[in-house]
Amino acid sequence: MALPQKKIVLITGATSGLGWETVKALIQTTQTYHVYLGCLTLDEGSNAVTKLRCEVPETLSTLEPIQVDLTSDKSIDQCFHTMQSKSDRVDVLINNAGISLQAADVGMREAWNRCYNVNVTGTQIMTNTFIPLLLRSQDPRLLFITSGLSSLGPMGGVYTPTRMPVPAGWPKPEVHPYRAYRASKTAMNMIMLEWHWQLKADGIKTWGVSPGFLATDLGASFAGMAGAPPLLHPSVGAKLVVLVVEGGRDADVGRVVLKDGAIQEF
């Protein structure tokens, strides 16, 4: 019996955290994939591939690191041309790479500019560059990894996620240190909606995926704060991403999806 054709997946920021767990979850399913692991350096990507092959030795899926830096148009173009020389299409593009910085560490302008450069501008250019390869797929899927911190609805009623009151006076304490990150992810939600409507007639299915409050460096900064939800292992978020990739949330195209069938407010 012939093996099913491998689906071609490109995921940015694939060497750690949610990205790495997503690749691990993908290669454990019954579908076979060829996964391109987007990485800042090929050494970093090769190390991630080696670790994945050790942890999932039985997989029929294949893995390949590919260098891409979302802050560089040249790097994004080179990534595209490299993939185009190896594959005739991309079936799934997962925009996972992101950055979070605190103004207290690098200065306000630096924190905001760098967060937007990666999470918004870089993600937009990456997507725009790879649309031609997605259009060659029989089942093209486009995912944007967003965050519960980006949701405007809950913030209208209470200061999320810590629910801590902000006292009067100046300067204000850093009750929420990742303002640049959450604002950039809110902007990315609009990018997702733009692509949803622009690509709908082409048959490209588009989602935002909000993976939950995960035990990553960002999540750890809120651990123990009043009102902060419990941290989940990144594999929990990865399972949601894989569910979207494999058709489990096709009824929610054009939305930001949460686990357990829920939808996140914009």
8-state DSSP, 94: E
Return the SS3 of 257: strand
Q: How far apart are CA 131 and CA 140, in angstroms?
A: 10
Residue tagged active-site, from 36, 181, 184, 205: 181
Nearest residue to 61 (alpha-carbon basis) of 86, 32, 83: 32
β-bridge mates for residue 92, sequence order: 9, 141
Residue 150 class from Cβ within 10 Å (0-12 exposed, 13-18 middle, 19+ buried)?
A: buried
Residue tagged active-site, from 7, 185, 205, 210: 185
Percentages of the chain per state (helix, strand, coil), in multiples of 5: 45, 15, 40
Q: Quick one: tokens of 168?
A: 């009067």
Catalytic residue check, 147: yes
Q: Quick one: tokens of 208?
A: 């935002």
Residue tagged active-site, from 100, 137, 147, 184: 147
Catalytic residue check, 178: no
Q: Quick one: tokens of 53?
A: 């092959």
Q: How far apart are CA 205 and CA 218, in angstroms?
A: 29
Backbone torsions φ then ψ of 33, nearest 5 degrees: -130, 155
Q: How far apart are CA 239 and CA 25, in angstroms?
A: 7
Catalytic residue check, 24: no
Q: Which residues are catalytic?
A: 147, 181, 185
